[in-house]
Amino acid sequence: MKHGENKAERKSFGKPEEVRTFPKGKVELVRIGGALVGRAIFEPGWKWSESVKPLAKTKSCEAPHFQYQLSGTMHVVMDDGTEFDSRAGDVTLLPVGHDAWVVGNEPVVVVDFQGMIDYAKAN
């Protein structure tokens, strides 16, 4: 066993290790247990294809997400045509190939356990 494995850790989004900002949103990142966890905050009016696509330079979001939603309503449209709204308390799995946007006037806050390694990094 390597030194540091099986060690209890505590991190806080109050002191993120990295913050990536983009129009109408930001992602706060912490590394814990060898993983990167992100808290994304999307303000009303945020839409991936308008706010992040110019950074990603891809047709649709290519980051897979496994996330828990804390607030707001988000509409998701997958490249295969599947659509749904996610709300506070929902757990969502979004494979590569989607667009999403905030519905209404409440910010959407999600904690993502999978897809934040390259999310909103300029290519």
Q: Residues 62-99: pLDDT tens digits?
A: 999 999 999 999 999 999 999 999 999 999 999 999 99
Per CATH, the homologous superfamily of domain 18-112 is Jelly Rolls (2.60.120.10)
pLDDT at 118 exceeding the cut of 90: no
Q: What is the pTM of this model?
A: 0.90
C-alpha 57/C-alpha 64 separation (Å) is 16
What is the 8-class DSSP label of residue 123?
A: -
Which residues lie across from 102 on neighbouring strands? 74
C-alpha 86/C-alpha 76 separation (Å) is 8
Sign, Cα dihedral of 80, 82, 88, 92: negative
